[in-house]
Structure 1
Amino acid sequence: MRYFFGLVFIVFTLKLQAQVASNYTISFENAVQHEAQVKAEYSNLKSDTVTLSMSRSSPGRYALHEFAKNVYDVKVTNANGDTLTTTRPNPYSWQVTGHNGSINLSYTVFANHGDGTYAQVDETHAHLNMPVVFMYVPELSNQEIEVTFEPREDLNWKIATQLKQQQGNRYYARDLQYFFDSPTILANYKKRSFKVGDQNINLVLHDEEASEAQVDSYFEDLKKIVLEQRKVFGELPAYDYGEYTFLACYMPNATGDGMEHRNSTIVTSTTSLANGGIKDNIGTVAHEFFHCWNVERLRPQSLEPFDFSRANMSGELWFAEGFTSYYDDLSMVRSGVITPEAYIQGLVGTFNYVWTSPGRQFFNPIEMSYQAPFVDAAKSVDETNRENTFISYYSYGSSLGLALDLSLRAEGLNLDDYMKRMWQDFGKTNTFYTIEDLHQTLNTYAGTDFGDAFFSNSIYKSGMPDYEALLKQVGVVLETKDEIGFGAYVRDQVILSNPKMGTSAYSSGFQKGDTLLQLDAIRLDGSVSLNSVLSTFKVGDVIAIRYKRFGKEKKTNLTVQTERTYALSLIPSTDKAFTKKMEQGRGAWLKQSE
């Protein structure tokens, strides 16, 4: 009996400790001016001085965003309505004293950027990413949260979110991490659903121009991608509450983006399904859904727990984001949403961007991943030299995913099974991984010699894999071209990018902002293509060039040099060069597996 009463006491104590300690209400009376009104009740407070904070970052984004900048009309009272004293220790916090264990708070948020990170409130919708909108009390971070949404009934708004519905418009999150990872849309949306096993996959679509038939067509492509990606891992994750929801906003007032969350994703675009969005928007859907395995559950140790008070850095983004980027288009071609020809042509831009970039001499893929806080929707006013020093970890990782997949296939293996092993060992068991775990898992799967060679050459260093041989085995031709070029982006004779290292423009000392006036005897007046003029010369020719910098005309000599580009093309199945082995390799790589 003593054991029984002891157990009851423990359960009762735990329940008290886990009570709902943060209770929010959000309304949108002044939506026309992009304002949301937030009220909060915080209880179970233990500290004499309580900190109220606005997040500085958001899940899935790695830079600082300082969401406090759009918060105003802050009022803090006790349970009796008496105003409490607040101080500002920093730009993103308020400190409160004189409370009796609970605090009432009200404030206004300005929100007019509808994408995967920020929020937007107007008379078409309330598009909410939680860290942008809701203050929090750090000492209550591990306690339960409830929020009541007050939708504009006059605008026919409905609520869509991964949060657990309690009753009516009241929703629940088990803690702050889950709450801030749960974007919410209030709008007059359309909805489609289908079952995979005992779980629901939902499309919530806010698109006022799309017809029902267009929504159905788009949903069919979405279903194909979901089922195709499931084959990579052998199963869907076990979603909380048995549902995964695509929160799609394809409105002219939105901003194109996509952001993954544990059981949902925000996908935004200005392109309606009626205006090309069926084709243009589906790639983001494919990318974000793959994240429900890779990064949401198959998760780097470096991102756990996500810290809302600072920038979050990870050296694994070449895998978490880059391999996801490899699989988004791959799953579309495997499922028949795009053709093999379109898939190969889609690789060309990324391939050239990665493998012609000077950035590889400065940073390997791990170090490129470290740059995320500086580039992932980060803003600054000073100039950078990203053209020469940075390669997106999305693109770099995608190209490495292609190389690893084809390298494994040359050994009778494949990347799908490596991803499946990572899922079984880490994602499914909620074990966070490190770069060393990625390396050792590849060694276990493909052999130590193979794994060590790949990581030594392409991850710890910046070596380029032998793509020509790798692609040839699946009947894809890689052509290397060295063509005369200037080496900087020029429009209306003005240089608009930093010249790329090793090019004519860089070697001749040109800068971003220079205006080109005359090349040899040819005046450049906007009607003449610079590269077409350069192509009339030979490599090594030295040409006199006049230009303007800081309002003054200058002269210099330019030595004609080449720039490297790559082209990719499928060998037609009717071509004599297309062997049976290539056919089998391409079929296993690109076709929908049975």
Structure 2
Amino acid sequence: MKKNTQLLYLLTVWTLFAPLNVFAARNPADDIDPSAASPTITYLLAMPEPQTHYFDVEMQLRNIAAVTQAKKNGYVDIKMPVWTPGSYLIREYAKNVEAFTATASGKPVPSEKIRKNAWRIYSGDDNLTIRYRVYANELTVRTSFVDSDHGYVTPASMFMFHDALKNQPHRVVVQPYKDWKKVATGLKPVAGQNFTYEAADYDILVDSPIEIGNHETFQFTASGIPHTVAMFGEVEYNPQRLAADYKRVCETAASVVGEHPCQDYLFIVHHIPPGGGGLEHLNSTTLETTRYAYATESNYKGFLTLVAHEYFHLWNVKRIRPIALGPFDYENENYTHMLWLSEGCTSFYEDYILRRAGFHTPEAYLGIVANDITQIENQPGVRLQSAAESSWDAWIKGYRPNENSANTTISYYSKGSVLGSLLNLAILAGSNGERNLDDLMRYLYTEYYKKQKRGFTDEEFRRAAEQTAGRKLDDFFTVGVNSAAPINYNAYFEPVGLQLTNVAARTQDGFLGAGTTVQNGKSIVTSVRRGSAAYTDGLNVGDEIISVDSVRVGDDLLRLISGRRIGDKLTILVNRAGLIRKIPVTLTANPLVSYRLQPLPNQTPQQKALFEKWLFIQ
């Protein structure tokens, strides 16, 4: 497109978009003294037609020419992040941006998109106003959403930035839809200005989600800090019980490090049919759970586990962090080998916190630890991918599983949770019960977050762990973290008087190794376990299993296989992409384990004492 034609096109787009501009009547940043030396960045966020799933954003940049070198360059580049911290996947937020226009001192100026997430504004002016729209119709903790019921903003997916201005204060003015009365966010409110908030820099803005609508709220105080819970969705709950249990969880989590880093804290809770997990932030979190989260004791404990996980991220990740996790590069992957620590050990603490707070009995907690080990040991990928590799590959594998992922990968969440348990035990045993994993967390928090004001390297973490344990931890790091070799679990459990035992029933029944689902009365293969009969003999994901030894299969495949012995030979008839195939299969032994932690006979007094310290038994 020729330059003159491009300018005409851009002016036309701006003119068409101008009637939709809900900001025209209110432009507080226009009152800023143009001679002021410090640049200001203000976003006006509106949702005039929420049923269309659009947010309208106006980004006002004032007194920026000197900082951005706009006069020298003749242009300014504005960018949209491609991911959000805490969710390690490139999400390409710019795909939802449209109708980008710019004005300089009130006059339209040309602009063009120069990369997938960057726009160039051809102006050297000191004062720019940028307008764009964001389509937001994906309600997750990692994305933005608006409809006729409420709005939710993940800031990385909504607010653009300029590299040279990221360390300046950023202000957000929310203009709720006409019938909406509430805004919940961890951003600091600006005194005397309704729905106006400020962040000290762009990083804090990105770390502060925003809920807009008519949500219910309740408050409680934990560790002397005011906490607010913003509840979206129709759900029945007991606010007194919920507030009391939040308080128990939060105060127990805070006791790990012993210092609360916030002046206030916000939980945004979405009650939606599929649930969805959570995402941590600097002084807030967003949780997604079902409308039945409080209906049964099992569901309720599951929800409190989610609360404990995301709340403990206040320390582990947001402040105790690998050096790669901040300051962030919002345009590229931020690699680390230590997500097993940041996420996995937080998964360890979610259950350990609930045990310490009295929600789990010691026996129940032992069952959780054993089940965690069972889960990873039943996944073939545990022998192929280490926890460190899993952490590094989060960007390409962790959030993009396929039908073969269980054969080739292990989750840094699940493997990391087990490693957290083992490291806790190693420190407890190495220090003769004087220290545990809490002491390592306190050291990392004090030394790197508070004193050095940075994250730590892999080697610094290892040195700190060994210093806390009072001994070398070669087996833990070489075998547990950095390899896919089998772990000698009982070396960790013996000091507390326990042994890990496989209690899976011994049987001569044969094992096929194909996961299936029934679709319209047909048995469809959805997964094939590495090393199993199905894997070796050639069943494929997507095959429709028609018959086993000439017996028609519907939803009863397991019944037809049941009772067959190891080494039995079957003929399986499948429909593969419209072609009928006969697959001879020889059944193998069942490789699945089921672990339990059981007391060692003749436990010593020292083992019993360590056991009680481990599980906080008074």
- Pair 1:525-2:550 in alignment: no
- Pair 1:420-2:435 in alignment: no
The structure-2 alpha-carbon separation of the partners of 1:444 and 1:469, relative to structure 1 and needing over 3 Å to count, comes to closer
Select 1:261's aligned residue among 251, 274, 281. 281
- Pair 1:286-2:308 in alignment: yes
CA distance in 1, matches of 2:125, 2:543: 64
**Residues 125-151 of structure 1, C-alpha deviations (whole Å, 9 max, x = no match):** 211110111122222112111111112
Q: Pairwise mapping of residues 275-424 of structure 1 onto structure 2 (< 5 A)?
A: 275-276=295-296, 278-347=300-369, 349-378=371-400, 385-411=404-430, 412-413=432-433, 414-424=436-446
CA distance in 1, matches of 2:172, 2:323: 30
The structure-2 alpha-carbon separation of the partners of 1:195 and 1:217, relative to structure 1 and needing over 3 Å to count, comes to closer
- What residue number does 1:486 align with? 512
Task: Kindly provide the amino acid, as one letter, of the partner of residue 439 in structure 1.
Answer: R
Any conservation in 2 of the 1:28–1:151 contact (CA below 8 Å)? yes
Secondary structure of the residue that 1:371 maps to in structure 2? helix
**Residues 369-405 of structure 1, C-alpha deviations (whole Å, 9 max, x = no match):** 01111245459xxx66312111110011001112222
CA RMSD of aligned residues (A): 2.7
Task: Kindly provide the amino acid, as one letter, of the partner of residue 437 in structure 1.
Answer: E
* Aligned-residue offset at 1:278: 3.5
- What residue number does 1:244 align with? 265
The structure-2 alpha-carbon separation of the partners of 1:513 and 1:329, relative to structure 1 and needing over 3 Å to count, comes to same
Any conservation in 1 of the 2:220–2:227 contact (CA below 8 Å)? yes
Secondary structure of the residue that 1:68 maps to in structure 2? helix
CA distance in 2, matches of 1:97, 1:78: 9
Task: Kindly provide the amino acid, as one letter, of the partner of residue 447 in structure 1.
Answer: G
- What residue number does 1:516 align with? 545
Any conservation in 2 of the 1:306–1:312 contact (CA below 8 Å)? yes
Secondary structure of the residue that 1:302 maps to in structure 2? coil
Segments of 5+ residues of structure 2 without an aligned counterpart are 1-34
Select 1:537's aligned residue among 546, 550, 564. 564
**Residues 317-366 of structure 1, C-alpha deviations (whole Å, 9 max, x = no match):** 00000000011011112212234444444445532331232323432111
Segments of 5+ residues of structure 1 without an aligned counterpart are 1-14
Any conservation in 2 of the 1:53–1:94 contact (CA below 8 Å)? yes
CA distance in 2, matches of 1:20, 1:173: 14
* Aligned-residue offset at 1:281: 2.1
Any conservation in 1 of the 2:111–2:120 contact (CA below 8 Å)? yes
Query: Larger deviation: 88-97 or 202-211?
Result: 202-211
CA distance in 1, matches of 2:220, 2:229: 9
- What residue number does 2:165 align with? 140
CA distance in 2, matches of 1:570, 1:353: 14
Task: Kindly provide the amino acid, as one letter, of the partner of residue 450 in structure 2.
Answer: K
CA distance in 2, matches of 1:490, 1:267: 32
Any conservation in 2 of the 1:75–1:106 contact (CA below 8 Å)? yes
**Residues 524-561 of structure 1, C-alpha deviations (whole Å, 9 max, x = no match):** 4224243x443423222333332222222222322221
- Pair 1:444-2:471 in alignment: no
- What residue number does 1:231 align with? 255
- What residue number does 2:92 align with? 66
Any conservation in 2 of the 1:129–1:183 contact (CA below 8 Å)? yes
**Residues 43-92 of structure 1, C-alpha deviations (whole Å, 9 max, x = no match):** 21322211121211111111111111112222211122x21111111222
The structure-2 alpha-carbon separation of the partners of 1:527 and 1:104, relative to structure 1 and needing over 3 Å to count, comes to closer
CA distance in 1, matches of 2:326, 2:211: 26
Select 2:581's aligned residue among 547, 550, 554. 554
CA distance in 2, matches of 1:221, 1:466: 37
Select 1:150's aligned residue among 171, 175, 186. 175
* Aligned-residue offset at 1:229: 1.5
Task: Kindly provide the amino acid, as one letter, of the partner of residue 242 in structure 2.
Answer: Y
Any conservation in 1 of the 2:526–2:541 contact (CA below 8 Å)? yes
Secondary structure of the residue that 1:556 maps to in structure 2? strand
CA distance in 2, matches of 1:504, 1:160: 54
- What residue number does 1:179 align with? 205
Secondary structure of the residue that 2:218 maps to in structure 1? strand
The structure-2 alpha-carbon separation of the partners of 1:144 and 1:281, relative to structure 1 and needing over 3 Å to count, comes to same
- Pair 1:162-2:186 in alignment: yes
- Pair 1:467-2:494 in alignment: no
Relative to the length of structure 2, the TM-score reads: 0.84
- What residue number does 1:564 align with? 591
The structure-2 alpha-carbon separation of the partners of 1:563 and 1:425, relative to structure 1 and needing over 3 Å to count, comes to farther
The structure-2 alpha-carbon separation of the partners of 1:221 and 1:568, relative to structure 1 and needing over 3 Å to count, comes to farther
- What residue number does 2:78 align with? 52
Secondary structure of the residue that 2:266 maps to in structure 1? strand
CA distance in 2, matches of 1:428, 1:85: 46
CA distance in 2, matches of 1:315, 1:251: 33
- Pair 1:29-2:48 in alignment: yes
* Aligned-residue offset at 1:112: 1.8
**Residues 455-512 of structure 1, C-alpha deviations (whole Å, 9 max, x = no match):** 1121122233322454463556532536642212112364443412111111111110
* Aligned-residue offset at 1:178: 1.0
Any conservation in 1 of the 2:79–2:162 contact (CA below 8 Å)? yes
Q: Percent identity?
A: 27
CA distance in 1, matches of 2:173, 2:164: 22
The structure-2 alpha-carbon separation of the partners of 1:289 and 1:16, relative to structure 1 and needing over 3 Å to count, comes to farther
Select 2:219's aligned residue among 193, 212, 215. 193
Query: What is the aligned residue count?
Result: 562
**Residues 510-529 of structure 1, C-alpha deviations (whole Å, 9 max, x = no match):** 110112233335x1422424
Task: Kindly provide the amino acid, as one letter, of the partner of residue 101 in structure 1.
Answer: D
Relative to the length of structure 1, the TM-score reads: 0.87
Task: Kindly provide the amino acid, as one letter, of the partner of residue 528 in structure 1.
Answer: D
Query: Larger deviation: 416-425 or 113-122?
Result: 416-425
Secondary structure of the residue that 1:83 maps to in structure 2? strand
CA distance in 1, matches of 2:293, 2:389: 38
- Pair 1:222-2:246 in alignment: yes
CA distance in 2, matches of 1:491, 1:384: 13
